Amino acid sequence: MPAEQVYSLLFQSRDGASSLYILFGGIVDPVSSRIDRFDVVAVGNSELINIPLSGTTFKDVTNVCQKIKYEGKQLKNLTNKLQELFQNSGRSDDFMEQLIHYINKREDDKIKYLVNQIQNQAMGNSKPDISLWYSLIDRDKIDEAGSGKSSFETLDSEEAHDDPMSEEAPTIPIGVPTGIDASIPPTASRVQFKFILSPVSGIPVSQLKPGDQIVVQLTGSDPTTMGIIDSMKLKTEDGSIKPIPATVVATENKGVENETIVKIGNDVFGKIYEEENSIKVRLYTGEKPVSKSGGSSVSAASNASLEAGESSLLLTVLIALGVVGIGMIAIFVFLL
């Protein structure tokens, strides 16, 4: 395979039961085993992504994605989550090895399975209808639009001509992070996590700042996160994951939403989206976070101590009543 050729990978995912529809376009480099760049959008109206994939180019798909985003018709939180998950997967050696192998062998069902595994991390377990289209293209033709561009119902050529925003719609480059993502080193491992909340004494997520120490819990089933969980021995016997301290590296407030990047150990970072600024995150005070299993042990010990105290008190009362009873009988006999 010539080094100047890459795969254009396009797919549509339609889940009518939950009204979630996804359009994705990516450039897969089989030589470097990486996703060079991609664009993805999630919507609640299937008509917005109703384009034929056959004969469509990567540029066509990015035009559709960017137009939907520009008009504010996307499901923003789901789109952002998918963007992050595909970015992580595009850097995963294990995922890319499987993806390229299945593309080379044209095993569509297995490609759909890989894609759906990523989607399920963002939208829960589902079985959407996934349509695929992929083909080898010359690298210098990546930014060419297809001949069928004018037939897309979601694209208006005259509007695109008048709109400077749509003329050079940016795609998401894997190797060049932007925004707060630039605070994550290119060689760092990226994991999935969630905040440990503290409604009473915690700090609102909107007030987090770089350097704050908080408590988080790793989540997700992607290879990177699972590898870190195993290496840090965070999984307990009952299968739960121990909370761990993390340092806030960067934050960005977007109205009612927040993006936060944290550092966990050496060269391990994570990014999270939160829809509500009012939630309060537990601060790390230097004490070892108590896992669920640990909390259960403490609770069990407290219950046992309480039961022992109650039994001792009951025995004392019974003895006292016995002594009083014997005394009364003796007095009764003496008087007779």
Q: Where exactly are the structural domains of the chain?
A: 5-141, 187-282
As a whole number, the mean pLDDT across the chain is 79
At 64, is the pLDDT very low, low, confident or very high (cuts 50, 70, 90)? Answer: very high
Among 126-130, 147-151, 183-187, 278-282, the range scoring the smallest mean pLDDT is 147-151
Query: What pLDDT is attached to residue 307?
Result: 44
How many angstroms separate the CA atoms of 151 and 54, rounded? 13
Among 49-53, 82-86, 118-122, 224-228, the range scoring the smallest mean pLDDT is 224-228
Give percent above pLDDT 70 in the chain. Answer: 74
Among 8-12, 121-125, 218-222, 290-294, the range scoring the smallest mean pLDDT is 290-294
Structure tokens at 214: 């908080």
Of residues 88 and 274, the one with the higher pLDDT is 88
Query: What pLDDT is attached to residue 146?
Result: 66
Give percent above pLDDT 90 in the chain. Answer: 37
3-state class (DSSP) for residue 38? strand
Residue 155 predicted with pLDDT over 60: no
| Percent helix, strand and coil across the chain, each to the nearest 5 | 40, 25, 30
Pairing of strands 280-281, 203-204: antiparallel
Residue 148 predicted with pLDDT over 50: no
At 10, is the pLDDT very low, low, confident or very high (cuts 50, 70, 90)? Answer: very high
Structure tokens at 334: 């003496």
Residue 288 predicted with pLDDT over 80: no
3-state class (DSSP) for residue 144? coil
Nearest to 128 by CA among 42, 65, 192, 53: 42
Of residues 37 and 303, the one with the higher pLDDT is 37
Residue 147 predicted with pLDDT over 60: no
At 263, is the pLDDT very low, low, confident or very high (cuts 50, 70, 90)? Answer: very high
Query: What pLDDT is attached to residue 168?
Result: 45
> What residues contact 142, with CB distance under 8 A and at least 6 apart?
6, 8, 27, 58, 59
3-state class (DSSP) for residue 334? helix
Segment 245-272 shows an average pLDDT of 87
Segment 138-142 shows an average pLDDT of 89
Q: Using one digit for the tens of pLDDT, what is the confidence trace for 39-52?
A: 999 998 889 998 98
At 190, is the pLDDT very low, low, confident or very high (cuts 50, 70, 90)? Answer: confident
Segment 223-236 shows an average pLDDT of 86
Q: Using one digit for the tens of pLDDT, what is the confidence trace for 289-327?
A: 544 444 333 334 434 443 444 445 555 656 766 666 676
Query: What pLDDT is attached to residue 249?
Result: 94
Query: What pLDDT is attached to residue 165?
Result: 44
Q: Using one digit for the tens of pLDDT, what is the confidence trace for 105-119?
A: 999 999 999 999 998
At 228, is the pLDDT very low, low, confident or very high (cuts 50, 70, 90)? Answer: confident
Segment 252-265 shows an average pLDDT of 84
Q: What is the pTM of this model?
A: 0.51
User: Residue 91: what residue type?
Assistant: R
Query: What pLDDT is attached to residue 186?
Result: 76
Residue 32 predicted with pLDDT over 60: yes
Of residues 224 and 117, the one with the higher pLDDT is 117
Structure tokens at 315: 């025995």
Please report where in the chains the tokens 């897309």 appear, as a residue. Answer: 152
Cα-Cα end-to-end distance for the chain: 117
Query: What pLDDT is attached to residue 204?
Result: 92
Q: What is the DSSP letter of 43?
A: E
